[in-house]
Structure 1
Amino acid sequence: MNWLTQLPAHLARSPLVLVSVAGVRGSAPREAGASMLVGADFVVDTIGGGHLEWEAMAEARAMLLTGHRRPELRRYALAASLGQCCGGIVWLTYETLLPEDADAWQGRATQHASGIALLRQLDGDAAASRWSAGTASGALKLPATESARDWSLTQPLTPPAFCLNVYGAGHVGTALVNLLAPLNLRLRWIDPRADLLAAAPAGVECQPCDAADEAVTSAPTGSSHLVLTHDHALDLALTEAILRRGDFAHFGLIGSQSKRTRFRQQLAARGFTPAQIERMQCPIGVPGIRDKTPQAIAIGVAAQVLQWREALITPTRTGLDARMRSN
C-alpha cells in the first residue's frame, strides 16, 4: 500500500489520478486490487509496467490536463491491443482526487496503518469513491453496454497479515528497512538511537527503545523478528526476550556460525531448551551470497523475509482477485 501511504502528502500539493486494476481475466501483470498514483510528473507504485502502464499513465494525465472528474472504467486486451505476451484482459478504473480531500485520505491511510481493514466502493455514476471500515471480497460489476455508467468496483484494503520487527538501525538494518518498506507488510523498526530512526521511509513504524523486554513485549502476536543491532549484548538480551515470549512466526539473528554456537551455549546456560534454541535462525539470509557489504547482506535477508511472508500468507490467502459480474 505504498500508494496509500504517500497519497496524502502528494494530494495536498496537486490533483492526482488513482488507477486501480479492477478486474482480470486470464494472465495479467498484476492482480486485481493493485493500484498506482499518477501525478503530472511522477508515479507511485505500479500496475505491472509495460505498455498497459504507459497507456494508463497517458490516460490519467489527460484527465488531469482536461480537469476530468468523473470516474472511468477502461478495458484493455493485452495481446490484441497492447502487444503484451500475458494475453489476458484487464479492466482499470480511474478516479481523480482533489487537494481539498487530502485530510480525508490522511485519515484512511492512518486507519489502514493502525490495522483497520477498509472498503472502497467506486460507482460509475458517482462523483468519488465511498469508504467504510470492514472486510469483503473484491468485486467488479461490468456495465450493461460499453458506454453505460452502471459499473461498480468493490476494493478491499486489508492491513498486511505479515508483521516484521527489525531491531537495529545500523548499516544493514537501514539498508534492509529501505528495501522492505515499499512491500505489503507491516514493518516495525526498533533501536535505542532515535536519531537513526528519523530517516525511516514512509509507512515504517519507528520505536526508540532502550529496554529489550519492552521492545519485544510491544510486538504483535504472531509476528516475525530480525535482530541485527550494533551490540552483541543487546542482541543476546533481545534473543532471550523473543525466545521466552515464544509466540513468534520466525526469528532470525545476524551473525556467523561461531556467533550462533556462542549464543546457543549462553542460552542453554540460562535455561532454554534445545527446542526453544532451534527456533533461532542464525546466520540469516538466503544461502550462496558471499558479498559482505551491508547492501548485499540486506538483499539476502530481504529475500528470506519474502519467503517467510509467503509461507505465512499462502495457506490463508484470499487475495484481491475481483469477482467479475455482468448484468
Structure 2
Amino acid sequence: MRELLSELRDWHTAGTPFALATVVAVRGSAPRGPGAAMAVHADGRVAGSVSGGCVESDVCEVAAEVLSTGVPRLRSYGISDDEAFGVGLTCGGTIDVLVQPCVSTADRHRLCELADLVAAGESVAVATVVAPAGAAGSRRLVLADRVSGSLGDEGLDAAVTDDARGLLAQGATAENRYGAHGERRMQDVTVFVQSFAPAPRMLVFGAIEHAAATARIGSFLGYRVTVCDARPAFATRQRFPTADEVVRAWPHAYLASTEVDARTVVCVLTHDPKFDVPLLVAALRTPAAYIGVMGSRRTHADRIARLREAGVDEEGLARLASPVGLDLGARTPEETAVSIAAEIVRHRWGGTGRPLSELTGAIHRTRRNGA
C-alpha cells in the first residue's frame, strides 16, 4: 500500500470518499502478498492492485457496495475446477481481501496520518480488525514510542500494540488472532498488522558506469541508495541522479560511520585492492544481509588471499557474493545491474536462480532474511 499513500492523501484533500481493498491473507500461490492494496474512488477511478488483474473487477463491485452501505466486507478469492471461468485466481491460490469504506473525515484522516509518517521515514505498523464483521475496519497506528487510534477494547489494544511492535522491528506483516479482550490462544478477533518500515539501504561503492546502473535498479527495487567513492571527479550528483545520496569519502571510513542493519545490501564495484580490502573487512563486521563484490575470478582469488592476510576467517569469506551477480551472460553495465539485482532477490527469498520452467513446486516463497 506504500505506493498508494500519496494519491490517497490527494483524494482526501479533495474531500471525496473512496474504498480501500487490502490483501490480508494468502494461502498457496498468489500474484501479490499480504498488504497489497487497491483504492476505488467514488467516481470509479482505481489505483493499485490486489491480484495483478485476476479479481480486480469483482473488488470494484464490492467497493461500490461498501461505499453505498458504509459496511466493510471481507471477500475470499480462490479457484476450483467448477469455477475456473468465474472470478478467481488462475494461479490456484486463495487470497482474503478486506474492503473498507473511507467515507468519514476520521477514516481519511487516519490514512493521511499514515501517509505523513511514512513520508517522514517513521517506522509505523497499521493494525486493522478483519473479523468479526461488526468490528472490521477498526484501525490503530503503532509506532515505537506512541500509538494512534483504537480497536475498540483496551486489552485488545495492548496485546496488538505489543505484537505490532515486534513485527515492526522485523519489518514483517502478519494476520494474528486474539480473544475479544486481547487474550492469547483465542480466535475471536482477527487483526491484520502491516509494517511500514523505512526503505532498506543499498550501499554502492565505486562510482563507475556499473554503479550508475546498479543505483538505478536499486531505486527501482525500493532501496534507499547511497553511492560512495573517494574520487571527487566520479562521485557527483550528475553521474548518479537517481541515488538518494552521493558521498565523497574513503569507502571503509564511510561504512564505519553510517547505519547498516540486517536489511542493508552492500555492492562493492571498485575491484581495486586499496579500496576493496579495508572496505570488505569493515563490511564483514556489520550485519548486512548481502555483500556483493565485482571482479574477475583472478581478481576474486587475489582478493580472498588479501582478506585472509587481513584476518578474515572462512565464515566471513563465505558471506561474500564474489564474483557478484547471477550467471545471465551479462555484458553491459545495465545487464550486469540486472544480474546483481537478480542475485539480491534470490538471496532475499531463497530462490534457486534456475529457470522456473525447470522446477516444480511453489513459485512464491516466504521471506528468508532481511535483504
Q: TM-score range by the shorter chain?
A: 0.5 to 0.7
Match among 94, 107, 128 for residue 120 of structure 1: 128
CA gap 1:296/1:153 in 2 versus in 1, 3 angstroms: farther
| Counterpart position of 1:296 | 335
Match among 21, 26, 31 for residue 23 of structure 2: 21
- Deviation (angstroms), 1:224: 4.7
Normalised TM-score (structure 2): 0.61
Say whether residues 1:272 and 2:281 are aligned partners: no
Bigger relative contact order (CA 8 A; separation at least 6): 1
| Counterpart position of 2:141 | 132
Is the Cα–Cα contact under 8 Å of residues 19 and 56 in structure 1 kept in the other structure? yes
Structure-2 separation of matches of 1:59 and 1:43: 15
Match among 178, 187, 199 for residue 242 of structure 2: 199
| Counterpart position of 1:239 | 280
- Deviation (angstroms), 1:32: 4.4
Say whether residues 1:210 and 2:249 are aligned partners: yes
Kindly tell me the number of residue pairs found equivalent between the two proteins. 290
Is the Cα–Cα contact under 8 Å of residues 216 and 242 in structure 1 kept in the other structure? yes
| Counterpart position of 2:15 | none
Is the Cα–Cα contact under 8 Å of residues 78 and 90 in structure 1 kept in the other structure? no
CA gap 1:266/1:295 in 2 versus in 1, 3 angstroms: same
Deviations 1:242-266 (A, max 9, x none): 13x2544432112222332343344
Deviations 1:206-259 (A, max 9, x none): 57462434542333344453324468454444223213x254443211222233
The residue correspondences of 1:1-327 to structure 2 (distance < 5 A) are: 3-4=1-2, 6-15=3-12, 16-24=18-26, 28-38=30-40, 41=45, 43-44=47-48, 46-57=49-60, 59-60=62-63, 62=64, 69-79=70-80, 80=83, 81-82=86-87, 84-87=89-92, 89-97=94-102, 100-101=109-110, 103-109=112-118, 113-121=121-129, 124-125=133-134, 129-133=138-142, 134=161, 135=163, 137-139=174-176, 153-158=190-195, 163=200, 165-168=202-205, 170-181=211-222, 187-191=224-228, 193=235, 195=237, 199-200=242-243, 206=245, 208=247, 210-217=249-256, 218-229=258-269, 232=272, 233-243=274-284, 245=285, 247-269=287-309, 271-273=310-312, 275=314, 276-287=316-327, 289-311=328-350
Structure-2 separation of matches of 1:7 and 1:87: 27
Normalised TM-score (structure 1): 0.68
Percent of matched pairs sharing the same residue: 20
- For residue 120 of structure 1, give the secondary structure of its aligned residue in structure 2: strand
- For residue 279 of structure 2, give the secondary structure of its aligned residue in structure 1: helix
Read off the aligned partner of 1:255 and give its amino acid letter. Answer: G
Structure-2 separation of matches of 1:7 and 1:247: 31
Structure-2 separation of matches of 1:236 and 1:172: 23
Structure-2 separation of matches of 1:18 and 1:254: 44
- Deviation (angstroms), 1:104: 0.5
CA gap 1:256/1:152 in 2 versus in 1, 3 angstroms: same
Structure-1 separation of matches of 2:45 and 2:270: 40
Structure-2 separation of matches of 1:87 and 1:282: 38
Structure-2 separation of matches of 1:132 and 1:12: 16
- For residue 48 of structure 1, give the secondary structure of its aligned residue in structure 2: coil
Is the Cα–Cα contact under 8 Å of residues 121 and 131 in structure 1 kept in the other structure? no
- For residue 172 of structure 1, give the secondary structure of its aligned residue in structure 2: helix
* Structure 2, unaligned runs of 5 or more: 13-17, 143-160, 165-173, 179-187, 230-234, 352-364
- For residue 11 of structure 2, give the secondary structure of its aligned residue in structure 1: coil
- For residue 191 of structure 1, give the secondary structure of its aligned residue in structure 2: strand
Read off the aligned partner of 2:195 and give its amino acid letter. Answer: T
Is the Cα–Cα contact under 8 Å of residues 224 and 249 in structure 1 kept in the other structure? yes
CA gap 1:41/1:294 in 2 versus in 1, 3 angstroms: farther
* Structure 1, unaligned runs of 5 or more: 142-150, 318-327
Structure-2 separation of matches of 1:247 and 1:32: 27
- Deviation (angstroms), 1:153: 5.0
Deviations 1:79-119 (A, max 9, x none): 423264445554321124476555402244258x5445442
CA gap 1:107/1:77 in 2 versus in 1, 3 angstroms: same
